[in-house]
Chain A
Amino acid sequence: MRKNWYRLDTAALIFPATARRDWCNVFRVSATLTEPVDEVTLQQAVNDLRPRFPSYYVALRKGIFWYYLEETSSPVRVTRDYAYPLTFMSSRELRRCCMRVLYYRSRIAVEFFHSLTDGRGGSVYLANLLARYLTLRHGLKVPVGGLIRDLNEAPPAEELEDSFLSNAAPVASPRSEERSYRLRGTREKDGFRHLTTGIVPTAALLDLAHRYGVSVTALLAAVMAESIIAMQDARCPRRHQRPVKITIPVDLRRLYGSRTLRNFSLVLNIGADPRLGDWSLDELCRTIYHQLRASATPRHMAGMIAANTQPQELIALRLTPVFLKNLVMDAVYRRSGESGGSLNISNITNLDLPAALLPYITRCEFIIGPQRSYPNNCSVLSCGGTTCINMIRSIRESELERRFFSRLVELGVPVDIESNRR
C-alpha cells in the first residue's frame, strides 16, 4: 500500500532536532464528559476521523536531508491514561505514531508531538473527536461549521499547507534577545509531571481583565510576571537580576486568515525588567498588553516568520545531512529558542463547541509540557463559561503555582484547585 507523506512545516522542523532521551515537545487537549468514556466507541470515533485528518495519523521518519511525516499503517490505539499527562514520547514511539488518544474515567485526551500541529489545530481535532464520539454514543446530529468538519469530504489542501511559506516577509527580523530569568527547583528523577489545574469562571476573569483595560492573556501574563519577579527578588539582589519574560504563542491564523491545521503560530517574549525598579500589577498589565498589541501584527510577525523560512531556502543548508542540521538547529534553539523566556503562557482562548455538544461536556483543558531548560509552563483554555488554567512542572516545588493562584484569589477571582499530586 502506498503511504502518503508530508514535509514538516517550518515551525515543526525544530522539534525533532531538539528532542532528547528524556524530553520532547508534546502538548495535550482534553475534554471531561458528564459520563464515563466507552473505550470501544472512542476507538471507533478515532478510526472514523482518519480520512478527514490524515496529517495527524502519521509517524516521524528520517530522510537523508530532512525529517518527514509518513502515514501510519496501523490504527491509532486508544489507551488508558497514566499518572501524569504528557508522558515522554520516545523516538521509537514517534516512529510508530506522533499522536496518542487516552481516556480515564470521563476524560478523553489527545496528545500531539508538536511537529504535527499546534494548540489550535489540536483543539479542532478534539472538537471533531468529541462530535464523532457523542454522535456514535447518543445519536447526536452535530451541524458542520465552525470547528466541526464534514467527515465525508476530503481534507482541503489549505488545511495541509505550510502557511509560513506564503506569509514570510522579504526581510527577516533579528532573533537575538537578552536571556531571561530562569526558574529552578528539584527535578523529579522519574520524569513525573505535576499538574495543577485552576478552574475559574471565565466571566470573573474577563471582568478583572476589563478592570485593568487589558486582554485575559495579558492579565495572566502580568500576574505570572509579578509572581516570578517576587520569586527572583527572594533569591537574588536587584542588580544581578534578569528580565522576566513570558513566552506567549500567537495564533497566526487570525492574522493571515489561514485555515491550516499544521503548525502556524509563533512566540513572543514579553515582560519587564526588574532592574528598572518596582513594577505594580497595573504597570505590568499595561506594558505586557501594549507590547503584545504592538508585536502581534501581520507585518511584525511576517518578519519573524522570514527569520525561520529564509535559512530553509539556502541550497547549501538544504543539502546538509539531517544529523548535521540537527546539531545546528539544536544550537540555535539553545541560543534563541528558549533562552528569551522564563515561562510559557499558551492561551488558545475559547473552544467554541457546537451547542449540541455542551450538555455532555463538563470542561475542556489544554496542557503544554515543561520546556527543555525550564521547569514550569502554563496553558489556558476556556469552554462553556469555565476557564482551565493548567500549570505543569517537572520539579517538586510548587511556589510559583501558590503565588500565581493566590494572587488571582486576592484580585477577586474564585479559583478551584485540582492536582495530580502523588
Chain B
Amino acid sequence: MYCVRCGVRLQDGTEFCPLCQTPVWNPGADRPEPGFPESLPPRHRESTLPGAIAMTVVSVLALAVTVIVCLHLYGALRWGGYVLGGILLFDIVAVLPLWFEEPRGEVFVPVDFLAAGLYVLYICRATHGHWFLSFAFPVILAAGLLTTAMVCLLKYVRGGRIFIFGGFLVLLGGFAVLVEFFEHLSFGTRMFTWSQYPLAGFGIVGLFLLIAGTIPPLREEIRRRFFF
C-alpha cells in the first residue's frame, strides 16, 4: 500500500500517511500493530520541596533570632520590625512559590507586589511618614499592573514576544516619568530631571523592537541572536 502523494510504502491498514497526512484508501485491511505502546512516561519534575523546606526553616530561624535579640536588647521590636518585614517579603517572593508544583505567575506576581506594598506601608507608618498614599502606593500599583500584564501576555499569547518586550520597554520608560511625577507631588522635587534618561533609553529600544517586529528578516535575525 503506497501513499499517492509521497510514493512511500505504508503499513497495511494505515489510515493516514505519516509524512503528508493524506488519507489512505485500503478497505478491509486491519490496523497495523503499533510500534510503540500508548503509555506515556511518568512526568518528571524536579521536586522543589527539599529547597522549600530548607528555605522555610532558615527564614523561621532568622525570624526567631531577630525577635529574641530585639526583645532581649530593647524589650521591643524597634529595628527588628524592618528585618521581620524584609524576611517575610523574601519568603513570599522567593520561598512561597517553591511549595507549589506549578506556581502560576499571574497569581504570585500580584501577591508579591501586594506584600511589597504592605511592607512599605509598615515602614511609612513606623517612620511617621506621609508619603505612602501619594507616592509609594501609586508607584507599586503601576509597577504591579505592568509586570502582571507582561507575565500574563507571555504566558497566554502565542508568539509576538518581540511586540510584548517592545511594548513593555516603552511602558517602562513611561513608568519612570510616572515615578518622578509622584515624587514631585509628594516631595516637591523638580519634574523631568532623571526620568528623561530611562524614558529615552527604554523608549528607543522598545520602539526599535516594535518596528523590527513588523519587518520579518529583522525579526528573524533578532530571534536568532537572542533565542533562549
Chain A interface (Cβ < 8 Å from any Cβ of B): 21, 80-85, 87-88, 90-93, 104-105, 107, 179, 182, 190, 192, 195-198, 236-237, 240, 373, 398, 401-402, 405-406, 409-410, 414-421
Q: Is the CB of A92 within 8 A of B46?
A: yes
Residues in B whose Cβ lies below 8 Å from that of A373: 227
Is the contact region of chain B dominated by helix, strand, or loop, or is it mixed?
loop
Number of A-B residue pairs having CB atoms within 8 Å of each other in the complex: 97
* Stretch from B12-20, B75-83, B182-190 contacting the other chain: B12-20
CA distance A179 to B223 in the complex (A): 13
Cβ of B201 to closest chain A Cβ, rounded Å: 26
Q: From A192, A240, A416, give the contact of B9 (CB < 8 A).
A: A416
B72 interface residue per 8 A CB criterion:
no
B11 interface residue per 8 A CB criterion:
yes
Interface centre among B3, B16, B227 (most CB of A within 10 A): B3
Q: Is the CB of A82 within 8 A of B18?
A: no
8 example contacts (A-B, Cβ-Cβ < 8 A) are as follows A82-B37, A83-B39, A236-B220, A398-B19, A398-B21, A406-B7, A415-B7, A421-B18
Q: Is the CB of A104 within 8 A of B36?
A: yes
CA distance A113 to B20 in the complex (A): 32
Residues A406 and B8 in contact in the complex (CB < 8 Å), given A82-B41, A88-B41, A196-B18? yes
Residues A88 and B39 in contact in the complex (CB < 8 Å), given A236-B217, A402-B20? no
Cβ of A18 to closest chain B Cβ, rounded Å: 14
Q: Is the CB of B19 within 8 A of A401?
A: yes
Q: Is the CB of A196 within 8 A of B40?
A: no
Q: From B6, B34, B224, give the contact of A402 (CB < 8 A).
A: B6
CA distance A392 to B151 in the complex (A): 32
Residues in B whose Cβ lies below 8 Å from that of A91: 46
Q: Is the CB of A83 within 8 A of B37?
A: yes
Q: Is the CB of B41 within 8 A of A87?
A: yes
Residues in B whose Cβ lies below 8 Å from that of A87: 41
Q: Is the CB of A240 within 8 A of B8?
A: no
Q: From B10, B37, B41, B224, give the contact of A179 (CB < 8 A).
A: B224
Q: Is the CB of A416 within 8 A of B8?
A: yes
